[in-house]
Chain A
Amino acid sequence: MVSNLFVKDRVAIVGAGITTFMRRALETPRELAWEAARQALDQAGLTLRDIDCVVIGSAPDTFDGVHMKGEYLADGSGALNKPMTRVYVGGGTGVFVPVSAWWHAASGLCRTVLAVAEEKMSPAHPHPQYVFRYIWDPIIHRPLEPNLIWIFAMEMRRYMAKCGAKKEDIALVSVKNKRNALDNPAAQVAANITVDDVLKSELLVWPVNELDISPVTDGAAALVITNENTARQVTDSPVWIDGIGFTLDNQHWENRELAFPRYLNYAARMAYRMAGIERPWKEIDVAEPYDPFDYKELHHIEGLMLARPCEAWKLLKEGYFERDGELPTSPSGGLLGVGNPIAAAGLMKVAELFWQLRYEAGKRQVKKPVHKAVANAWGDLMQAGTVIVLSN
């Protein structure tokens, strides 16, 4: 990988938009994509005429029930008669969309890029769980009839065993994020709950209870990303993309130590190096670690080097990651509180950091002054790490 020294053109985010996150949306996937894209354009004060290229992100095709989903979403995403591609790294896709938009702009091929992520999980009948039957190795795993939650439960258990964390320590993430989500107008499952509520919710795959998991969601999110010149013309407060990183580990999760997310750590190091960040635990002011499961936020805080391995759960207990804490994480409410329309959820996290860095997050604005922020998403069979570092 070439060092950032040679990358001369800075790239900025100048607008963001999201739809309501909800269990069942009346709107079609194309309409959801359009609603998010329109808002992002409105915030940037631009129209589709100003957009040179479009990057679309969406996770498995089977959720929306359409093969070649990027093509299907093209019109809703404002891509007509424009260069459009759909990038795909499973659950990591949401953050990967702006990562990929970065090189669209930095290469000089596109001045202004619309980055759109959409997911509509409700068409899968009777339950989106069915779709996850098809993510496994077809020959040596599918015969065991695995449920999606199995692998995450296995990873959570390994983290607990290695790090000495208890279920109640981990449940605090769910409590924090659902509470943070109370201030988010997009939120699907915001609530004031207790650790006890999590522990008493339906036991699915021990150690995972229902409230440890983010819900099934429909929704979309979008960003407008431009080169430096254009950014300075359209706004006084661009948010810079200082670093990007991505890594994909092998598919054989049963051959790996699951307690520490190396896939993310490598991606984070790439992004920090590009951003010139040497001590992320000191330099990052606010973070949106990917939290489809509560333990995953802790896991990712450690992978992002915002805490030492096995120490995130201890810091969490001390209030370190609260909105008024030392290093607020998931001030948006995260996937656990706002909802999890897979790719759109990852992009929502980047949108939240955009608003935080512009001091536009209203009640969700973190207490401390913010300069640098990091978000990540994760996907596949504990494989994909995607990271973006932003600054104002």
Chain B
Amino acid sequence: MGNGRVAVIGVGFYGFRPSTPEVSFQGMMFESSHRAYAEADVDPRKDIDVFVDCQEDMWEGIAITDEFAPEPIGGALRPTFTVSGDGLLGVAHAYMLIRSGLANVVAVESHGKPSEIKTLQDIYYFAMDPLHIRPLSTGNPFFIAGLDAQAYMSRTGARREHLAMVAVKNRNNGLRNDRAPYSSRISLDEVLSSPYAVYPMTRYEMAGFSDASVTVVLASEDVAKKFTDKVVWLDGVGYSTEVGSGSIEWHQWGRMPSMRNAALMAYKLAGLSDPQKDVSFAEVEDRFSFMELLSAEELMLSPEGEAHKMLEAGEFDFDGRLPLNPSGGSLAMGVSLEATGLARFLEAVLQLRGEAGAHQLKEARRAVVASWRGVPTYTSAVAVLSSDVEG
């Protein structure tokens, strides 16, 4: 392998609002990348070796959306490519590019502008298998998450109160975060007394959508030090796909093996042997309330089937032993389509640098970041980040 450790030397973002009519998606990409490069003190035209952009055609409304990738992020006439997937998958490519020795500095951008999609529900349907699932016309495409939530509850004994508690925790955590338009001072009663959106979840337990672009700059260890002292280490990445969207019948309902596999890969690279003990906080998947608990379990941050008990005991709270989504997660920040994973990543980097502002944790030395691409996919990605700074 060419290079040693991989460092995060800059992050930048734009948006995290329900709509952003003031900018085009390209404008948003430019703003976030410009900020990340300024922070990393790199000139994208000279210092960045490879640009990775994460986006998907139907989210953008452009058939070969890759066309629009290079220009706004400084990658025109340079090695630039697109990953059709969550931003964390782009981070995995960056990690491999640096470890292979091909690149020293890689930029990863991802964005989502869901406010411009007027038929979002139909676009979700278009991701379903055309032969097996689309003809069923099931109404809300998130029914698949409902099936998983039900299976999860029956396997672990978690009750719907536990799911609601996740929404209460995250929407309240978000109140301290400027990037969290869906945060709210909501109580458990309010969640439980509102009608089901997709059984067993109410609308408070399903994340809204927000427009955002996030850019991160990664570098090899030697080169990172030339640019900045503010280094956060990317100790490991992992990603995995359990089943195809054309074969979701084979999915292990109530489980997320893709996240477990991704975690095993990332932990192995990071040399993380006891995640429950060695992780100070985690930014994990929570676009549906039950997913936070299931993620905690698949990431081995809780014993098998006991995430809801740890939640009940307050261990995942902002001031708990192992805070989950201190930023408020997607439930407070919204789902920014393929930028959702990078939103989690951004929050973890800021925490590890001690720059999270009002939602800064006291102890932030090692973080796990995890995302899932949402229905109807079974792909997850995980990153392990750490900081040398005494938290």
Is there a contact between chains A and B in the complex with CB atoms less than 8 Å apart? yes
Asked if residues A107 and B379 are in contact (CB atoms below 8 Å), the reply is no
Query: A86: which B residues are within 8 A, CB to CB?
Result: 83-85
The residue in chain B whose Cβ has the minimal distance to the Cβ of A64 is B130
The 8 Å CB contact of A67, one of B69, B97, B127, is B127
Cβ proximity bits A216-250 to B, threshold 8 Å, 1 near / 0 not: 00000000000000000000000000001111111
Cβ proximity bits A39-83 to B, threshold 8 Å, 1 near / 0 not: 000000000000000100001111001111111111110011111
Given known A-B contacts A8-B2, A61-B58, A247-B78, A2 and B130 have beta carbons under 8 A apart: no
Asked if residues A84 and B77 are in contact (CB atoms below 8 Å), the reply is no
Task: Decide yes or no whether A90 CB sits under 8 A from chain B.
Answer: yes
Query: A138: which B residues are within 8 A, CB to CB?
Result: 61-62
The answer for the CA separation of A247 and B50 in the assembled complex, in Å, is 9
Asked if residues B261 and A248 are in contact (CB atoms below 8 Å), the reply is no
Q: Which of A127-175 contact B (CB under 8 A)?
A: 131-135, 138
Task: Decide yes or no whether B230 CB sits under 8 A from chain A.
Answer: no
The answer for the CA separation of A383 and B64 in the assembled complex, in Å, is 11
The residue in chain A whose Cβ has the minimal distance to the Cβ of B58 is A67
Interface size on B (CB < 8 Å)? 72
The residue in chain B whose Cβ has the minimal distance to the Cβ of A69 is B84
The answer for the CA separation of A86 and B51 in the assembled complex, in Å, is 16
Asked if residues A76 and B244 are in contact (CB atoms below 8 Å), the reply is yes
Query: B102: which A residues are within 8 A, CB to CB?
Result: 1-2, 7, 103, 106, 244
Asked if residues B77 and A384 are in contact (CB atoms below 8 Å), the reply is no
The answer for the CA separation of A247 and B75 in the assembled complex, in Å, is 9
Task: Decide yes or no whether A251 CB sits under 8 A from chain B.
Answer: yes
The residue in chain A whose Cβ has the minimal distance to the Cβ of B24 is A139
Asked if residues A2 and B2 are in contact (CB atoms below 8 Å), the reply is yes
Cβ proximity bits B216-240 to A, threshold 8 Å, 1 near / 0 not: 0000000000000000000000111
Which stretch (B88-96, B143-151, B174-182, B349-357) binds chain A?
B88-96
Query: A82: which B residues are within 8 A, CB to CB?
Result: 240-241, 261
Task: Decide yes or no whether A100 CB sits under 8 A from chain B.
Answer: yes
Task: Decide yes or no whether A320 CB sits under 8 A from chain B.
Answer: no
Distance in angstroms from B132 CB to nearest chain A CB is 11
The answer for the CA separation of A123 and B126 in the assembled complex, in Å, is 14
Q: Which of A331-387 contact B (CB under 8 A)?
A: 379-381, 383-384
Asked if residues A248 and B377 are in contact (CB atoms below 8 Å), the reply is no
The residue in chain B whose Cβ has the minimal distance to the Cβ of A383 is B67
The answer for the CA separation of A59 and B126 in the assembled complex, in Å, is 16
The answer for the CA separation of A102 and B262 in the assembled complex, in Å, is 21
Asked if residues B70 and A71 are in contact (CB atoms below 8 Å), the reply is no
Q: Which of B1-15 contact A (CB under 8 A)?
A: 1-3
Asked if residues A270 and B2 are in contact (CB atoms below 8 Å), the reply is no
Q: Which of A305-324 contact B (CB under 8 A)?
A: none
The residue in chain B whose Cβ has the minimal distance to the Cβ of A108 is B1
Q: Which of A1-51 contact B (CB under 8 A)?
A: 1-2, 6-9, 28, 30
Query: A244: which B residues are within 8 A, CB to CB?
Result: 102
Query: B129: which A residues are within 8 A, CB to CB?
Result: 66, 72
Asked if residues A107 and B99 are in contact (CB atoms below 8 Å), the reply is yes
Distance in angstroms from B382 CB to nearest chain A CB is 11
Task: Decide yes or no whether A263 CB sits under 8 A from chain B.
Answer: yes
Query: A87: which B residues are within 8 A, CB to CB?
Result: 81-84, 93
The residue in chain A whose Cβ has the minimal distance to the Cβ of B62 is A134
The answer for the CA separation of A135 and B250 in the assembled complex, in Å, is 35
The answer for the CA separation of A249 and B70 in the assembled complex, in Å, is 7
Asked if residues A71 and B63 are in contact (CB atoms below 8 Å), the reply is no
Number of inter-chain CB pairs below 8 Å: 240
Asked if residues B84 and A80 are in contact (CB atoms below 8 Å), the reply is no
Given known A-B contacts A2-B2, A89-B66, A108-B1, A80 and B58 have beta carbons under 8 A apart: no
Asked if residues A380 and B84 are in contact (CB atoms below 8 Å), the reply is no
The answer for the CA separation of A91 and B64 in the assembled complex, in Å, is 9
Cβ proximity bits B158-176 to A, threshold 8 Å, 1 near / 0 not: 0000000000000000000
Query: B376: which A residues are within 8 A, CB to CB?
Result: 71
Given known A-B contacts A2-B104, A6-B101, A108-B1, A68 and B67 have beta carbons under 8 A apart: no
Given known A-B contacts A1-B49, A2-B2, A60-B63, A107 and B241 have beta carbons under 8 A apart: no
Select the residue from B50, B95, B102, B377 with max chain A CB neighbours within 10 A. B102
Distance in angstroms from B125 CB to nearest chain A CB is 8
Asked if residues B58 and A100 are in contact (CB atoms below 8 Å), the reply is no
Select the residue from B2, B71, B103 with max chain A CB neighbours within 10 A. B2
Task: Decide yes or no whether B205 CB sits under 8 A from chain A.
Answer: no
The answer for the CA separation of A131 and B64 in the assembled complex, in Å, is 10
The 8 Å CB contact of A134, one of B2, B49, B63, B246, is B63
Distance in angstroms from A346 CB to nearest chain B CB is 14
Query: B269: which A residues are within 8 A, CB to CB?
Result: 109
Asked if residues B84 and A30 are in contact (CB atoms below 8 Å), the reply is no
The answer for the CA separation of A28 and B247 in the assembled complex, in Å, is 13
Cβ proximity bits B236-257 to A, threshold 8 Å, 1 near / 0 not: 0011111111110010000001
The answer for the CA separation of A100 and B102 in the assembled complex, in Å, is 11
Task: Decide yes or no whether B100 CB sits under 8 A from chain A.
Answer: yes
Asked if residues A71 and B57 are in contact (CB atoms below 8 Å), the reply is no
Asked if residues A71 and B245 are in contact (CB atoms below 8 Å), the reply is yes
Given known A-B contacts A83-B265, A86-B85, A250-B71, A68 and B77 have beta carbons under 8 A apart: no
The 8 Å CB contact of B66, one of A7, A83, A90, A263, is A90
Query: B98: which A residues are within 8 A, CB to CB?
Result: 107
Query: B70: which A residues are within 8 A, CB to CB?
Result: 248-251, 383
The answer for the CA separation of A384 and B77 in the assembled complex, in Å, is 9
Task: Decide yes or no whether A176 CB sits under 8 A from chain B.
Answer: no
Asked if residues A80 and B244 are in contact (CB atoms below 8 Å), the reply is yes
The answer for the CA separation of A133 and B63 in the assembled complex, in Å, is 8
Task: Decide yes or no whether A281 CB sits under 8 A from chain B.
Answer: no
Asked if residues B240 and A83 are in contact (CB atoms below 8 Å), the reply is yes
Distance in angstroms from A84 CB to nearest chain B CB is 4
Can you sample 27 A-B contacts with CB below 8 Å?
A1-B79, A6-B2, A7-B100, A68-B245, A71-B244, A71-B245, A71-B377, A72-B127, A72-B244, A73-B246, A76-B244, A82-B240, A85-B93, A89-B81, A100-B81, A100-B93, A107-B97, A108-B99, A108-B100, A132-B63, A135-B63, A135-B67, A247-B78, A248-B51, A251-B67, A262-B77, A379-B66
Among all A-B residue pairs, the 8 with the closest Cβ atoms: A74-B244, A134-B63, A75-B244, A106-B100, A248-B80, A107-B96, A107-B99, A67-B126
Beyond A66-B129, A87-B84, A249-B77, 11 additional pairs, beta carbon < 8 A:
A1-B49, A30-B247, A65-B126, A71-B378, A103-B102, A107-B100, A134-B61, A247-B77, A250-B70, A251-B68, A262-B77
